[in-house]
Amino acid sequence: MDSSSELQAENQALRQQLESLLREARSNEDKMRRFEQLEHRLIGARSMADLLRLLLNEYRQSFGIDCVTLALLDRDQETSGLLDAERPRDDQAERAQLDGLTLLHSLKPIESLFQDLTHPSLGPFNEGLHRPLFGTPSPALASVALLPLSRHGELIGSLHFGSTDPSRYERAAGTQLLQRLAAIVSVCLDNALNHERLKRAGLSDMLTGVHNRRYFEHRSQIEVSQARRYQHDLACLFLDLDHFKTVNDSFGHAAGDAVLQKIAHIIQAQLRAGDTVARFGGEEFVVLLPQAPAQHARDIAERIRLSISAEPLTLPGGEVVPISVSIGLAMLGLSHLSGDSPSLAQGLVNDADRALYRAKATGRNRVTCSAASDKLGETLGPQKNAH
């Protein structure tokens, strides 16, 4: 080969090398642009659920990752409670968007994965070590990146990426972007939790700790929508303490507050996971019972009534305060579901309120069903107990 041909070959090789560097630069620029877009969306997430959906779905799609999972410490079930309160019950599409999320009661399953809370762990997929984090994705994973999430020097969870490409997460690969992502996600999770706490404080009754009327009105519309969509039962209880003014007048407002707190506790103890109780105002409480047929709803109402009347309150001075409650019960009739959810929710509460008025008018300390809920029939009171 003459010198001219050698020079031409050398130039060709340099051009190819330059084109390769330019392609890599453009790829990195595009990757950085997508990363910054996602970063802004993470920071701007309006709720914990929105933040989790971004991490588990959109990050995976934006960067072509085969599997993304997330483990979060949730010792007091605070996060699970927030998510359950936010998403409609039985919404399979909503739940599917959070596939890959694991809430942990302790850090034991993940704390041994990280020696340094500031650096991700990259390397080949290890069946024994990584299967609990990823489950059984198809196709099988070949390499993984495990990102420790920490706040104030303490581990709060971990974010996991899995790829079928064995070279994607090699141990020698750079981790600058992953470190930055872990730091951002940690801060966003902490902020989202604090925001949800503030929001929940605004939706809770400060005296009794149960939800307030504002939360109930929001939740009732969700439950009505779900009942309409899936054609399942929805019951509403309206409860009012009997002769509560006498308690305040005879024993003082501190005793009245103690009675309200005890009533809230008793009601909660009789409810199922997924039921909703709220203080409606003064000595009135409301309860939503989704997927509760008429007879079952009446049994729950009667258990609440009996539990309350069976436990008089003993004051610090030794005085005993008898307590009883009147309850109105209404069912959302599936044959009367025309109209919007807010109107139907308000109508359900109004029916329960009218039933409560009848319970008061016919002797108190009893469960009375609304006229619209004709299947429920009779009034239950001290003379007749449901079993």
Residue 379 confidence (pLDDT): 45
Res. 167: pLDDT tops 90: yes
pLDDT over 60 (residue 372): yes
Look at the domain 38-201 and name its fold.
Beta-Lactamase (3.30.450)
d(CA 141, CA 154): 29
Catalytic residues: 283
**Cα distance between residue 106 and residue 301, in whole Å:** 37
Helix axes of 176-201 and 78-86: crossing angle, nearest 10 degrees: 70
Q: Which sign, positive or negative, has the C-alpha torsion 145, 146, 149, 150?
A: negative
CB-based contacts of 194: which residues, under 8 Å, 6+ apart?
A: none
% of the chain beyond a pLDDT of 70: 87
Q: Which pLDDT band, with edges at 50, 70 and 90, does 374 fall under?
A: low
| Residue that is written with structure tokens 């990050």 in the block | 59
Looking at the domain covering 213-376, what would its CATH class be?
Answer: alpha beta
Measured torsion, CA atoms of residues 32, 38, 43, 44, in degrees rounded to the nearest 10: 130
Give the contacts of 47 (CB within 8 A, at least 6 positions apart): 86, 192, 195, 196
CA 184/CA 40 separation, integer angstroms: 10
pLDDT above 60 (res 81): yes
Numbered ranges of CATH 3.30.70.270 in the chain: 213-376
Confidence (pLDDT) at 387: 29
Single-letter code of the amino acid located at 239:
L
The yes-or-no verdict on residue 364 having pLDDT over 60 is yes
Helix or strand holding residue 34 (H, E): helix 3-43
pLDDT in tens, 139-155: 899 999 999 999 988 99
Question: Listing from the earlier edge strand, what are the strands of the sheet with 325-331?
Answer: 276-281, 284-290, 234-241, 325-331, 367-369
Closest by CA to 182, choosing from 322, 35, 326, 66, is 35
* Start-end of CATH 3.30.450.40 domains in the chain: 38-201
pLDDT at position 319 = 84
Q: Which two tokens stand for residue 360?
A: 């008061």
